Amino acid sequence: MEALQPVITAIYFVFGGVLLFLSYTIVRDNPRHRANRITGMMLFFAALGPIFMAFGAIVKPTASAAAPFEDSFIYNLYYVWELFFPAFLLFSWVFPVDRMARMKRRKLRYLIFFPQLFHLFLVLVFRNPEKVYNLLEFESSEGFLGLIMEPLSYLMKWIVLGFSLLLSAERSLFALINLIYLGLAIYTIFRGRAILTDARARKQSGMIIWGILSAVVLFMATFLIPDLLSFEVSPGLKTLLMVLLLFIGGGSIAWSIIQHQFLDVRVIFRQSLVYTITSGILVGLYILVVGQADRFITSVFGTQTNIVNIAFIVLALILYQPINTRLDELIQRFFIRSRTDYRNILEQLTRRLISVFDPEQVRNVIERTLISTMMVERVYFILFDDTIGEYAILASDEFPTRIIINREDRFLGAVGQRETPTLIDQLEEFRQGSTLAYEMEKRRVRLILPLKDADHLLGYLGLTQKTSGYTYNPEDITTLGVISNQLVTVLTNARLYADSLEKQRLDEEMAMARQIQLDLLPKQPPQAPSFAIHAYSMPSRTIGGDFYDFIPKSDGGFAMVIADASGKGLPAALLVAQIQAMLRSEVGNLNDLSRILFNVNRYVVESTSAEKYATLFFAEFDPSRRLFCYANAGHNYPILVRSDGTHHFLETGGMLIGAFSGAQYEMATVTLQDDDLLLFYTDGVSEAQNESDEEYGEKRIVDYIVNRRNLSPEELIDGLLNDVRDFDHTDPPRDDTTLIAMKIRNGVH
Amino acid sequence: MNLNDYERDGIAVLEPRGKIMGGPDATILHEKLHECIEKGQKKVIIDLARVEWMNSTGLGILISGLTTLRNNGGELKLANVTDKIQSLLTITKLVTVFEAFDSVDEAVSSF
């Protein structure tokens, strides 16, 4: 036991130091918080216990029989430590739930310190009542003064006697008081924990409550209850239990700070803890080694020497850094999973996001990570929307409406200037008239985090206050700054992926639309011995606004149409599909071309806006009489080439379809003859352009077909298309291109 | 396409330059025409002298402009129609609805 004493002393010192350090750190980080101040105070008094014990162990051997250590001032000062009990009771009022805020006459709470202060007073003054008696012995005074002082002196002596008697019951009495305090505090802490509804706050407080309670209960069992019942626990067991309770109490607080951000103490703290422990170990070693070595050297050489002291200091200087490093590594290994460590947050984010590409899911993961690691209550996204070119606050559970922020917004501008996370309070001057500021306040956002990479500003994250009720400390802000870069990458990747998916989906839809449009075209033009027809149509994009159709009639003839809707792509395709459907239905009901076009025009005007129109050439051919009836609704004039090489344009008709209601359509009829050639085309052919912006034009078309009028329709169209492609190399062609050639066969009726 | 506009004798003259195509051109012209109508300016001339080319969408813009103005009791006339646009108007038979003049002055005095 004697040999172990220095070790135990060292352990007391280390724990005393750790507790003092914890007390200091907790108060320093948030001195404005009542919980921090009170916890700091409690830990301070708790630290005094082991420190005084260690100190006592060092001083004791120097005491003599004449002046026993128990009589010394230092020994009695030890009772300051008892103030831990009222401080612990105070602590139970602010943790885990702060109930003191609602208390009336809060100042009165400090009265609970009275019993222990009184005890200290008793111990300091009346431990040796003889000394006080001596002080009160007056030389018999003469006259008036003596008359007053003598009875007063007697009275005082009686009072002293009373206090001395009280002091003799000291141990049991104050053990009882302290026990009552501890009991009350434990009860209050459990009541407080029962009120806690937030799961995270429960988890956060769980460790510390169990840690402190175990320590306190151990203390009760080791010291207070034996004192109260006046039985002795063996010193060895006492010391063992003392070390254990210090380890549990101090350890649980340190652990809670590092793992659960107890009282919002910074992670930097870890480093300081390492230094404290190292220093503690060195001090312990000093006490352990130097005392023993000194005694050994003195006994061997018979003289006292400083050599051990000097050697120890030199060794300590050499070993300080390596011990620090080893300890830090050890603690790193335990605490690398520390929640607030940005490396850990980054690792978590990366791991969770590795298989997530959906932007909404990505945002979810980011929100969950920040909530679990930074203790943020909520995360709001303010992101730039490419499609509208504005920033928007995305919808959330609580605020389901997406809110677009005008780019002139002052607050947005002010935030945009910042490179780092910014507390809303620092932007007070920009709040006036700002929608963003108003919306952020509504959501109780405390911190704005810009998401910026080298040259893009994606948007911002708005973080509400922390669940612990603390504000963001500089370390949080640094951590958020580091992870914001990662968030930018993640969000950008998610958006690119979504865009590519969207594009793929659109491509697939367009491919289907193209198939539908191809299916709407006749598979095969009408064929008969008396005529030959060939048709060609190619959209410039996947789908287009050109179409042609042949509609068989009951009299053996057919109706035909070639049309070109304004614009390109999907809108044009929808318009032509509509016109085609109307024509088919009208042809079944009516025989009058003018009437059919009049109706179709009216429908299109009614169902589309004015700038959507189509040009259209509509005709009916009766092969038996070789009569070709037509009406041209604003379409490029089809060309009729006679066998002798003369040509005519088929102009008669009326206004293009779909622009003006009530348009009238005139009809014309030509009688076709042997070897007559008809060419119908859309402006994709006539408006093809060469490098010098010259158009292919109607004249070239006419020249080409007049010269090659003896070719078959198919050969003619292939040849003409090649000629146009030679003229205009644009690939794909600028416009939808449609061509139909029809030839009357020689001598066949 | 760029769009200039000025007023001559209480008549708004719009002067597009370049190619009149789809997309933003339509929006610009459309907004300008609506601006005119809102200001109570219902007589509008579009001076096509500096228009190099016009596609089917461009033509659609003119049609919709004319319709809009007429629906609001106004009128749209064209000035300095180039040969190419003239032939476009002829083929589509739009000549029957658009009044076209050789100069802005002629167009102005026709109101």
- CATH of residue B75's domain is 3.30.750.24
Cα–Cα distance measured from residue B90 to residue A649, given in angstroms and rounded to the nearest whole number: 13
Note the pLDDT of residue A682: 93
Q: Which residue from A minimizes the CA distance to B67? A: A610
More confident residue, B94 or A320: B94
Domain boundaries along the sequence of chain A: 5-198, 342-498, 522-744
Q: Which residues contact B16 (CB under 8 A, 6 or more apart)?
A: B1, B2, B3, B4, B25, B29, B46, B47, B48, B50, B51
Contact assignment for B94 to A634 by CB distance below 8 Å: yes
- The pLDDT of residue A676 is 94
The total domain count for chain B is 1
User: What CA–CA distance (Å, rounded) separates A93 from A90?
Assistant: 5
Of A325-339, A345-359, B51-65, which gets the smallest average pLDDT?
A325-339
Say which CATH architecture domain A522-744 belongs to: 4-Layer Sandwich (3.60)
Neighbours of A499 (CB within 10 A): 12
The residue that leads in pLDDT, A229 or A711, is: A711
Question: Which of B64, B92, B97 comes nearest A609 by C-beta?
Answer: B64
How high is the pLDDT of residue A68? 60
At B60-80, the pLDDT tens digits run 888 888 888 888 888 999 999
Residue with the larger pLDDT of the pair A732 and A204: A732
A343 pLDDT higher than 70: no
Mean pLDDT, rounded, for A139-167: 66
Q: Are A634 and B57 in contact (CB < 8 Å)?
A: no
Q: Report the pLDDT averaged over residues A342-351.
A: 71
Mean model confidence pLDDT for chain B: 86
B103 contacts chain A (CB < 8 A): no
Whether the CB-CB separation of A59 and A7 falls below 8 Å is answered with no
Confidence of residue A133 (pLDDT cuts 50, 70, 90): low
Residue of B nearest to A734 (CA): B55
On whether the pTM is more than 0.95, the answer is no
Nearest CA in chain B to A651: B91
Write the Ramachandran bin of A541: left for phi over 0, alpha for psi from -120 to 50, otherwise beta.
beta
Residue in A with minimal Cα distance to B61: A611
The pLDDT assigned to A721 comes to 93
The mean per-residue pLDDT over the stretch A503-529 comes to 87
Report the sign of the C-alpha dihedral through residues A248, A254, A260, A261, in that order. positive
The string of pLDDT tens digits covering residues A464-504 is 887 766 777 777 787 788 778 778 888 888 888 888 888 88
Q: Greater confidence, A345 or A42?
A: A42
Question: What pLDDT band is residue A198 in, cutting at 50, 70 and 90?
Answer: low
- pLDDT higher than threshold 70 for residue A547: yes
B67 in A contact zone (CB under 8 Å): yes
pLDDT at A1: 47
Chain A: closest CA distance from residue B49 (Å): 18
pLDDT in tens, A644-656: 999 999 999 999 9
pLDDT reported for residue A713: 94
Of residues A724 and A322, more confidence is placed in A724
- Range picked from A606-620, A624-638, B72-86 for highest mean pLDDT: A624-638
DSSP A668-730: EEEE--TT-EEEEE-HHHHT-B-TTS-B-HHHHHHHHHHHTTTS-HHHHHHHHHHHHHHH---
Which is higher by pLDDT, A725 or A192? A725
What's the mean pLDDT in A352-365? Answer: 78
Indicate the CATH number for domain A342-498.
3.30.450.40
User: Is pLDDT of A141 > 60?
Assistant: no
Q: How crowded is residue A649: how many other Cβ atoms within 10 Å of its Cβ?
A: 14
pLDDT higher for B102 or A14? B102
Contact (CB, 8 A) for A30 and A470 = yes
- The domain of B39 spans 2-110
**Bigger pLDDT: B56 or A1?**
B56
What's the whole-number mean pLDDT along residues A442-471?
A: 80
Instruction: Give A30-96 as a DSSP string.
Output: -TT-HHHHHHHHHHHHHHHHHHHHHHHHHHGGG--SSS-GGGSHHHHHGGGGGGHHHHHHHHHHHSS
A51 shares contact with chain B (CB less than 8 Å):
no
Q: Give chain A's mean pLDDT.
A: 80
Q: Say what the pLDDT of residue A261 is.
A: 61
A717: pLDDT strictly greater than 60: yes
What confidence category does residue A707 fall into, taking pLDDT thresholds of 50, 70 and 90? very high
pLDDT band at A303 (very low <50, low <70, confident <90, very high): low
Q: Hey, which of A284-298, A333-347, A379-393 has the most confident mean pLDDT?
A: A379-393
pLDDT greater than 50 at residue A284: yes
CA dihedral A703, A704, A707, A712 (to 10 degrees): -140
* Mean pLDDT, residues A503-528: 87
Can you give the pLDDT at residue A595? Answer: 92
